Amino acid sequence: MVNYKDLPNTLLDDIFPNYFGIPVTSIQRDRVTNVCTKYSKGRGQKARTWKDDSEHKEQKASDELKAAADEFLYGSYAILESLAKKSE
């Protein structure tokens, strides 16, 4: 399990070489890094650079939505984060 915020470095530094036996060259690293700067939801539109908007989205969320996320999602998120740390 990998937290989204830790991608792609975890894939390149750990998962590909250590779990799949795929060595990552500097050329491959550069290609992945370049692709990761593109906004994935912008396909078909003018190319846009990805930018983290999580904080902006959180600020826009209503108190009710935040409470529901805490109640229904936080428990499983915490478990996944705990399992990810154990595998390090």
In tens, the pLDDT along 20-53 reads 999 999 999 999 888 887 766 666 555 566 667 7
Which of 2, 59, 8 is closest to 31 using CA atoms?
8
Quote the DSSP letter at residue 38: B
Q: Are 2 and 80 in contact (CB under 8 A)?
A: no
Instruction: Supply the range of the domain harboring residue 65.
Output: 4-86
Provide the number of structural domains found in the chain: 1
**pTM exceeds 0.75 for this model:** no
Secondary structure class of 67 (helix, strand, coil): helix
> In this model, does residue 18 exceed pLDDT 80?
yes
Which of 35, 38, 33 is closest to 51 using CA atoms?
38
